[in-house]
Amino acid sequence: MYSEQVMDHFINPRNVGEIENADGVGQVGNAKCGDIMKVYLKIENDIIVDAKFKTFGCGAAIATSSMSTELIKGKSIHEALKLTNKAVAEALGGLPPVKMHCSVLAEDAVKAAIEDYLKKQGRTE
């Protein structure tokens, strides 16, 4: 049912935790399934130097949170804003159709954290 990559990121999630005084924080949830994702970003000169997450949810929610933080670390905020749920799912070797909403949450949480950063900076782009 799940790919090796999904199982690896579920059993050994990367970047779990919080960042004290994060430059951007985004939280999203899905009332239908109960998953909640919170992403913390440390940003220097518009480059994401660290990303961490806390997720309450199923294995796919944890795996997509883990992979999304891996995909954006070291990227500019503009590159990270282009992250798609499809890219997260593909990086994990695919997700069952019933679990694709988890990759959407991961994308939305990353974008919410970047939007929070931009808002704190008084910027819109």
Neighbours of 81 (CB within 10 A): 16
Residue owning tokens 């970003």: 41
Query: What are the residue numbers of the active site?
Result: 33, 102
pTM of the model: 0.95
CA 56, chain centre distance (Å) = 13
Half-sphere exposure of 81 (CA within 13 A, CB side): 12
pLDDT per residue rounded down to tens, the chain (125 residues): 899 999 999 999 999 999 999 999 999 998 777 899 999 999 999 999 999 999 999 999 999 999 999 999 999 999 999 999 999 999 999 999 999 999 999 999 999 999 999 999 998 77
Domains of the chain are: 4-118 (3.90.1010.10)
State residue 1's pLDDT score: 85
State residue 122's pLDDT score: 92
